Amino acid sequence: MPELPEVETIKNELQPYIVGHCVTGVTLFWDGIVRQPSVEEFCSHLIGQRITEIARRGKYLIFSLTSDEALIIHLKMTGSLLLKSALAEPDKFIRAIIHLDEEIGLHFRDPRKLGVMWLVEDTNSITGKLGPEPLEADFTPQILAQRLTKRTAPIKALLCDQGFIAGIGNMYADEALFAARIHPLRLGGSLSRDEIERLHSAIQQVLWSAIGNKGASVDTYFRPSGELGTAHFQFQVAHRLSGKLCPVCSTLIERIVVRNRGTYFCPKCQPG
């Protein structure tokens, strides 16, 4: 699934090419990609609008429009946004094309048909329940400690809970917990102050590093250019199959399931 680093990369790489451009048409190959409003209203309201800004909130992309409405896109598990010329033929997994002036096409590619688009006046109606942004200055170790107080869920599950903290998913939760030397099944409220400070630092370090490497292409993630990200080459435990060794201590990496999520960790570096 595209997580915060992948969505941030998409935002950064789309920005210079589509901000200031006008929507001239919308082609839908699968109507189910539009969640709100109706398909007819979505297309008619979007056409003629100029994109004034692109922002990210958690795993959501927010395209501000001149009408004061916003196009919100969630790529879900297998979505990508690809920049193409107007003459480019869509492949079989393209579910929508947003046509822009100057012969620019924004192709929404999504093999599993899980991605969603909304056109809304109030972005909080979609993103309002998200937790704090982990890379913002106001996300401090103290804030993380407050949010962990009396939490009885496993820390891995909390890191993947978008209402607890926005943008982190399965693979970066594994990486952050490994960097902080915390077992994924530790209860959130059991972490010491030192562990919380290590986890806070690890979250930010892991995310910034992945952004610097343009996201992780472990499955279906592509950058807008169609190129792959390289963040997965830096992974220490995430997506490492059974039999792989810990890069720190050479212990076998283990895989367990935490709240229905495959979870990778080192049993020696991250003791229970």
Pull the structure tokens for residue 233. 């080459």
141-265 maps to which CATH number? 1.10.8.50
Confidence (pLDDT) at 219 = 82
With beta carbons less than 8 A apart as the criterion, state whether 13 and 223 touch: yes
pLDDT in tens, 214-229: 999 988 899 999 999 9
Confidence (pLDDT) at 242 = 62
Q: Where in the chain is the domain with CATH 1.10.8.50?
A: 141-265
Confidence (pLDDT) at 240 = 76
Q: Considering Cα of 12, then 62, then 229, then 200, what sign does the dihedral take?
A: positive
Please count the other Cβ atoms lying within 10 Å of the Cβ belonging to residue 246.
Answer: 20
How many angstroms separate the first and last alpha carbons of the chain? 27
Domain 4-127 - what CATH class?
Answer: alpha beta
Confidence (pLDDT) at 218 = 86
Query: b or e along 59-85 (b: 16 or more beta carbons within 10 Å of the residue's beta carbon)?
Result: bbbbbbbeeebbbbbbbeebbbbbbbe
* pLDDT tens by residue, the chain, 272 residues: 799 999 999 999 999 999 999 999 999 999 999 999 999 999 999 999 999 999 999 999 999 999 999 999 999 999 999 999 988 999 999 999 999 999 999 999 999 999 999 999 999 999 999 999 999 999 999 999 999 999 999 999 999 999 999 999 999 999 999 999 999 999 999 999 999 999 999 999 999 999 999 999 988 899 999 999 999 999 999 987 667 999 999 999 999 999 999 999 999 999 98
Helix (H, G, I), strand (E, B) or coil at 215: coil
Q: Where in the chain is the domain with CATH 3.20.190.10?
A: 4-127
Report how far residue 12's alpha carbon sits from residue 18's, in angstroms, rounded to the nearest whole number: 11
Q: Taking CA 85 as the corner, what is the angle to CA 84 and CA 86, rounded to the nearest 5 degrees?
A: 120
Stretch (H or E) spanning 262: strand 261-265
Confidence (pLDDT) at 79 = 96
Report how far residue 27's alpha carbon sits from residue 17's, in angstroms, rounded to the nearest whole number: 20
pLDDT in tens, 162-207: 999 999 999 999 999 999 999 999 999 999 999 999 999 999 999 9
Q: So which residues are the catalytic ones?
A: 2-3, 59, 261
